[in-house]
Structures are given as C-alpha cells and as structure tokens.
Amino acid sequence: MTILVIGATGTIGSAICDSLESEHDVIRVARTSGDIRVDIESPESIRDMYEEAGSFDAVASAAGNAAFNPLDELSEDDFGLSIQSKLMGQVNLVRYGLPYLDNPRQGSFTLVSGILSQHPMPGSAAISMVNAGIEGFIRAAALDTPDGVRVNAVSPPWVSETLEEMGEDPSDGVPAAVVAKAYADSITGSASGEVLDPRDYA
Amino acid sequence: MTILVIGATGTIGSAICDSLESEHDVIRVARTSGDIRVDIESPESIRDMYEEAGSFDAVASAAGNAAFNPLDELSEDDFGLSIQSKLMGQVNLVRYGLPYLDNPRQGSFTLVSGILSQHPMPGSAAISMVNAGIEGFIRAAALDTPDGVRVNAVSPPWVSETLEEMGEDPSDGVPAAVVAKAYADSITGSASGEVLDPRDYA
C-alpha cells in the first residue's frame, strides 16, 4: 500500500514510518521537511499536498497542535489554533483526501486524538475539546464515507519518549513503537469509526 | 438561585424554565426574544448579555446550532457554523461567565451536547464532532474553574416533542421535561465534569 504519514517527523510519526516502511510505500509528510510538505492549518496546503502525492491507499496522521493553558489563560487565539490545527486540520485531511484514494475498498484515514480527551488534567480544556471532537468526528464520518473507506482515531496516552524528554519516568508511558502498532492495525485491519487505544497493543 | 437559561425559547430551554421557575429566579435568554437577548456566535454579544444580567448563580445552556449533512456535502461554512455556534458559543458562555458568578461555591455551568456525540448517524459528522468537543471541554474545564464552580453537559437523546413535530413516534424519545431534570440535577447537585444522560432521569 501507499501510505501518507502526516506529521512524519514527530515522535509518533517517525515510529509509524519505521513500522510501516518494510512492507509499504511510505510517503513522509511534515510541515518543514519530508517527501512532501503540508501545513494542515491551511485547506489549500492540504489540497496541494494531495495533488502532489497523487493517489494513495491510506493516510495516517500524527499531526496537529493544540494549546495547553489554564482555562482563564486560554485566549481566543489558543482556541482558534487548537481548532484550526488539530481539529479541522485533521478533519480536512479526510474531507479533501477522499477523492484521491486509489482503492477505496482498502482505503483508510487514521487521525490522532489523545488520552486527554477522556482523561483530562488541569490546563487541558482546549486540548481535551479538540481531541474529543476528533473522536466524535471519526465515529460519524465512518458512516458517511463511500465504498467502505474506513476512518479511525488513535488516542495515545503519554508516550515514553516524550516523558523521557520531559525528564519524567518513561515507564509511565507507552513507547512510540507501540502507538505505531495501533496505527498499523487501523490501516491494515477492519476497524472503522473506532478510537484505538495503544495500551491495547502493548 | 438566579439561573440564566440560554436558548430559553426552544423545546428543551422552555422545559428547563418551566421546571426551575417555581423555586428559582429564572432569566430567559434567547436570540430573538426573552428577558435578555444573545447571539452566542458572537463573543461580544455574550459579554453584553452577562453585563446586562449582572450576577447570577448558574447558567443552563440549551443553545447552539450545528449542521446536519452528509460528509461530502458539509461545507467549510457548515463546519464553521457548528464550531462557532454550538461548540465555541457554549465554551464562551463558560469562559466569559465565570467572573459574574454571584457565589462560586454553588455556581455552575451546564452545556448541551447530544446523543450523536457517542451514537452517530449518517449526516452527523459535524454535529458529532462539536457534541463530543463539548463533552471533552466540560470534563477538562471542571478541573480549572476557581472556587469549586461546577461545569457539566447534558447529552439529550431524541426529544419526544421534536419527534412528534417530525411525524415520528414520540415514545422513541425522552420528553423535554425529563431532559430538564438532568439540568436541574446539574444545577442543584454536586456533579462536575460529568456528561449527564437524561435517560437516567426518566
């Protein structure tokens, strides 16, 4: 399969590429490097990316920013960025990507939400909002896609590599390679409209 | 308590007012009528509403529009409206309302999500997205509010009165008066960060 990995240079995106590239044709997409560049905040940039990629079989997204700040410090811009990037950026990956699927019957889109959707922490109001929004979107979008195209989300818990960078105990998280297993299952399995929890793949 | 009911003229909003007004001071707020008018799509209109209302103890929202359309017919404007109205409109009711709470220790905000958040149907991609977003937001916002201010959502299933208007069997839904019980429990109970299901109050 030809698989577009969006956010391919990040911790999770790199692990997705590593896990898929032995068996599939992986196209690495990121904001400032990679085989193709995209700014998912821009619908036009997404359309350009798909034009450049041509046809493909699956999109795996580990992209999107959202603002972490206490509720009384979250600004209009914080909410706006979170919506435009992680929420609508990923929604638009599905909306604009559907016509480019090479073989819809095995086609899929896998977006990223995150554990804060269901298990928030102080400061996560905007992130929890957009993560939950992604989960609501994929559940419904999966009912509307043509020809059996599947749409899922992976909801990563804290990632070991990220915890390590933060000086925290990596064993409190799940390695990025395990998160990548959830993406691989979404791409090669039969799930649709589901939120996949990487902890089920440990 | 003084309770602002936003969307007071709708099916659910009217039922909330009816159920609360014998014991509380209810201020009816709606877009084109009521004691105070508000367009929740406009942050400025929300601020004006709170200025006009002065202090209060609770906000109960049954307001917000979202677009129902198959995924491939949902436009930028459909997503934009859904986000600006039902999602950020209600989020902004909390953000801008917090400073006006008369007595934060008994203060609360109750927003509306909807069953399509967790149980989608074809055409509900935008609605399911914003409903789920509301649920993610209230779970997290409840951890950030000062002085014990509570934040919940009520997730109504199909409402009997709405089904009847649509020519469907009202017994497939829950009467608006039952939905209002969930709001009353959110306002007078101790729940915070919770999504209340009116079917638990039937």
Pick out chain A residues at pLDDT < 50.
none
User: How many other β-carbons are positioned within 10 Å of the β-carbon of residue B87?
Assistant: 29
Nearest by CB to A95, from B71, B118, B128: name it: B71
pLDDT reported for residue A124: 98
Give this prediction's pTM: 0.97
Which tens digit of pLDDT belongs to each residue from B56-95? 999 999 999 999 999 999 999 999 999 999 999 999 999 9
Looking at the partner chain, which of B74, B129, B137 has a beta carbon nearest the beta carbon of A125?
B137
> Mean pLDDT, to the nearest integer, of B11-21?
98
Determine, for residues A144 and B72 on separate chains, whether the beta-carbon distance falls below 8 Å: yes
What are the tokens at B68? 């129902």
Specify the CATH class of A2-201 in words. alpha beta
Q: Using alpha carbons only, what angle is made at residue A111 by residues A108 and A113, rounded to the nearest 5 degrees?
A: 150
Q: Which residues of B touch A98 (CB under 8 A)?
A: 71-72
Query: Residue A74's CB: how many other CB atoms inside 10 A?
Result: 22
How far off is chain B from A128, nearest CA to CA, in Å? 5
Please classify residue B166 by burial: count the beta carbons closer than 10 Å to its beta carbon, then call 0-12 exposed, 13-18 middle and 19+ buried: exposed
Would you state the pLDDT for residue A49?
98
B21 Cα to chain A: minimum distance (Å): 31
**Domain locations in chain A?**
2-201
Cα–Cα separations (whole angstroms), residue B98 to A72, A121, A148, B1, B29? 9, 19, 46, 16, 17
For residue B102, name the pLDDT band (cuts at 50, 70, 90): confident
Distance, CA of A72 to CA of A69 (rounded, Å) = 8
**Residue numbers in A near B193 (CB within 8 A):** 120
Q: Which residue of A has its CA nearest to B195?
A: A118
Q: pLDDT at position A93, please?
A: 98
Which single residue is written with the structure tokens 């006006």? B100
